[in-house]
Structure 1
């Protein structure tokens, strides 16, 4: 039986994420719905981190973590939460994200309808994520938005809180849902965090200008200082060469994480092609994104830098054709990583 909230979740997903709207439907049921719900709950937390008024943000994040545990009277508490959270969002919050926050009760209703093996993994993820968001804001926010993190360790910790923990959650869900995955546990678990961190770090680098325009910066202070930079000078034309050098240094860090993420994806069994493609799509998109960012001064301009839709379609097709072959996927990864225009040469 389809609960009313399920339709909301499936409809809302493509409105808040183009990438995950492409790869979540590849998962077998009911894993596809479990990951949809988990992603939307994480997106609610992300919206509160980005858009909620500072004085209310920490309490709302804590409350969301409690709600996901589905304790006593969660329905009434969810309705109260969604009203107050909606009022706490600033006027600049994207419409789709604001609607998602308002629909929190329907997301939780769908979570409650899923098999019991789903709940602990999702609850732990959201609890760790919201707690981590609060920790980062309290440690480095200074009463406002985060304007840089101290060093690469702090950046890695932030990426764990908002994405590495998602890699852990996905691994738990994969292991619980598929008998083919269980024998791969020893290969998957040590690499799960890097899978999430790699995608998050790529997004941070891609969105650096947008974040700066919104009063945020997630780049490490020590690496900015090594290039004679700080958040206020990153986008100044006179500092463009130093900013590009900084970006290229951080791209190297992201590529190392992506190398581990590839091994995570290949550790998934070929008997589960949907799980493999679910991980490989965003992994390869991240590789192409880093190609576009590397050595590109336009990263610091107002117009966003992104990979084109034709490249996305071509890469999806190439990945589908190779999904059962580790050797072919390694070759594709190497080719995509080698040069910005490698994909065009393969199609």
Structure 2
């Protein structure tokens, strides 16, 4: 049986998820098969935007990354108004439009997400490269990772009114993203950004120059180590706040989300195990552990 353009679009999203989102892709394998394509579509869209923002040299738009994000939003809005045919030549948008319609996902979660991504684009009116405190950082995360959690919620399904599950879903997205920020301090510095709250860093004697010094030398200063330990504790608190929300999801999807949460939180343990060496290497959870956690959740179903 030949595949349709929509089938091919979802296959492309699956390829992107498998290539770039190993933890999410593994967790998605625990979902019922009909839900997986939608999760892949949401991931692929977020990844597409992320690549525009982080790899400006690859953007073909005459107006740079900001113009490319604007065009993407315009195309998505048009597709939601006129139907998927409006983006038939854009596989990720085609699959995303179908997912949004199929699961009745509120479009404003996507506009909020795109506005947050504009905060990462130099020259954009939204641009931010530093965050004074956790309140400012959470405002950014509320538009990025938390918004993705809210996009996913209708796909996963809940055993309570959706609004009751939204705070925990947003918190889990925030927990995931803060973990990324702690893991990727060095890479973010290379892009001219710091996604750690300045007031928390200053409390431990850490400023931007010290972070740059650590990146240049590949060695974590004791003051930075103490700041990272504090922020890891904060991050774990967010995971604890999000954890009860997993029981608000439909039973069949809980193992997948628990797997994703467990594996992402394990990155924090890996950072600690490596004595906070985040400037010269990237903390990752090894394949054996990822498979072990997934198998444990599968057996618990």
TM bracket, shorter-chain basis: 0.7 to 0.9
RMSD between aligned alpha carbons?
A: 2.8
Return the match for 1:62 from 65, 70, 76: 70
Question: Which residue of 18, 29, 35 maps to 2:22?
Answer: 18
> Shift of residue 300 of structure 1?
3.1
Gaps (5+ residues) in structure 1?
80-104, 176-180, 324-347
Counterparts of residues 264-279 of structure 1 (less than 5 Å): 264-270=245-251, 272=252, 275-279=253-257
Q: Does 1:247 align with 2:225?
A: no
Following superposition, the deviation at residue 74 of structure 1 comes to 7.2
How far 1:182 sits from its partner (Å)? Answer: 4.2
C-alpha distance in structure 2 between counterparts of 1:112 and 1:309, whole Å = 33
TM-score (norm. length: structure 1): 0.73
Task: Name which structure has the greater RCO, CA cutoff 8 Å, separation 6+.
Answer: 2
Whether the aligned pair in 2 keeps the contact of 1:261 and 1:283 (CA below 8 Å) is no
CA positional deviation for 1:161: 1.6
- Residues 319, 18 of structure 1: alpha-carbon distance in 2 compared, 3 angstrom cutoff: same
The runs of 5 or more residues in structure 2 that have no matched partner are none
Question: 1:1-347, aligned counterparts within 5 Å?
Answer: 2-3=4-5, 4-52=8-56, 56-69=64-77, 70=79, 71-72=81-82, 105-114=90-99, 116-118=101-103, 120-121=105-106, 123-135=107-119, 137=121, 138=124, 141=127, 146=129, 148-175=130-157, 181-183=158-160, 185=162, 187-234=164-211, 235-236=213-214, 240-270=221-251, 272=252, 275-294=253-272, 296-323=274-301
Q: Verify the 8 A CA contact 2:183 2:278 in the aligned structure 1.
A: no
Please identify, of 234-243 and 221-230, the stretch whose mean Cα deviation from structure 2 is larger: 234-243
Whole-Å separation in 2 of the counterparts to 1:266 and 1:127? 28
Aligned length: 285
Bigger Cα displacement from structure 2, 282-291 vs 308-317: 308-317
Q: Is the 8 A contact 1:298 1:305 kept in 2?
A: no
Q: Deviations over 1:182-222 (max 9, x none)?
A: 43546412212101100111111011122223332211122
SS in structure 1 at match of 2:29: helix
For normalisation by structure 2, the TM-score amounts to 0.83
Contact 1:206 1:299 in 2 (8 A): no
CA offsets 1:93-126 (integer angstroms, 9 cap, x no match): xxxxxxxxxxxx01122334458333644x3332
